[in-house]
């Protein structure tokens, strides 16, 4: 244990996509590389926090000094989150699939002939992990941060999302056409809190993570009232 600004603090980060299987070989998923979440887990650990990273499927190297718990589906991610001890801060960067196939077929769904018409795919809603973590309870983290990937009206949608989810901060980013944010190295975010909205310059995802970790630390220690 070093003397970092976040030493003694527990941080939970969700990252990556979730994969929602239809049969043994097919799934639906969101586009997410996991980079921003992994960078945040790293940055929090660098400040001395005890970090758990709950990760959907990604190809990224596991960050050193972080406890990584892997999962595939939203239901698995929810179960891992529910099993965690009380956290000081939760950062939900994961691109959780909003819906999953109602049934997982045990055998590969076969296409019999060229003009075979597929059966309709029935979907059911997944749990909203961020909303669950944000709900008032004695074990709610002091600070809960959600992400909002929007393609238009970024700030208005993100403000509405902050209220709907019940989280404290929303990190909004524009993933619209030509943004190159999805899978890219850089990110341009707007941080939305109850009182404030600040637009950050376009930065390397590692720099976004470091700035965010520094703000988290100031907020947990009461130095800022964002
Ligand atoms: O509603 P939307 O998916 O746009 O919200 C994004 C935020 O909510 C992200 O922080 C994401 O990690 C979180 N989320 C979640 N569980 C879901 C859907 C989204 O935790 N089922």
In tens, the pLDDT along 28-54 reads 999 899 999 999 999 999 999 999 999
Distance CA 134, CA 142 (A): 10
Lowest mean pLDDT among 42-46, 131-135, 174-178, 205-209: 174-178
Is 56:126 a contact under the CB 8 Å cutoff? no
223 is in an annotated binding site: no
Known catalytic residue at 153: no
Q: Ligand 1 centroid vs 59 CA: distance in angstroms?
A: 21
Q: Model's pTM, two decimal places?
A: 0.94
Predicted confidence (pLDDT) at residue 61 exceeds the cutoff of 60: yes
Pocket test for ligand 1, best of 129, 150, 172, 192 (most atoms within 8 A of CB): 129
Atom of ligand 1 at shortest range from CA of 93: 12
pLDDT band at 226 (very low <50, low <70, confident <90, very high): confident
Report the pocket of ligand 1 as residue ranges, CB < 6 Å: 14, 74, 92-94, 96, 98, 126, 128-130, 146-148, 161
State how far the alpha carbon of 59 is from the alpha carbons of 46, 93, 197, in Å: 22, 16, 33
More confident residue, 2 or 18: 18
- What does each C-alpha distance from 211 to 39, 47, 200, 220 come to in angstroms? 11, 11, 10, 14
Q: What is the mean pLDDT of residues 82-103?
A: 97
ipTM of the complex in this document: 0.94
pLDDT grade for 225, boundaries at 50, 70 and 90: confident
How confident is residue 2, by pLDDT bands cut at 50, 70 and 90?
A: low
What number is the average pLDDT over the span 169-180? 83
């Amino acid at each position: 244990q070093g003397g970092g600004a976040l030493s003694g603090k527990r941080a939970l980060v969700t990252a990556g996509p979730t994969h929602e299987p239809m049969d043994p070989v097919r799934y639906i998923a969101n586009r997410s590389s996991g980079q921003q979440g992994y960078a945040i887990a790293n940055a929090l650990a660098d400040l001395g926090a005890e970090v758990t990273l709950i990760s959907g499927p990604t190809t990224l190297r596991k960050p050193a000094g972080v406890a990584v718990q892997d999962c595939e589906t939203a239901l698995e991610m929810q179960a891992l989150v529910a099993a965690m001890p009380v956290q000081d801060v939760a950062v939900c960067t994961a691109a959780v699939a909003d819906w999953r196939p109602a049934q997982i077929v045990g055998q590969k769904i076969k296409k019999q002939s060229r003009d075979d018409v597929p059966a309709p795919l029935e979907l059911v809603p997944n749990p909203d992990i961020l909303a669950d973590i944000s709900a008032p309870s004695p074990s709610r983290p002091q600070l809960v941060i959600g992400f909002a990937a929007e393609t238009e009206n970024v700030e208005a949608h993100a403000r509405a999302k902050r209220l709907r989810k019940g989280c404290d901060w929303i990190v909004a980013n524009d993933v619209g056409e030509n943004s190159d944010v999805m899978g890219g190295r850089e990110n341009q975010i707007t941080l939305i809190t109850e009182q404030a909205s600040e637009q950050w310059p376009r930065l390397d995802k590692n720099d976004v993570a470091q700035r965010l970790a520094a703000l988290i630390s100031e907020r947990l220690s009461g130095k800022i009232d964002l």
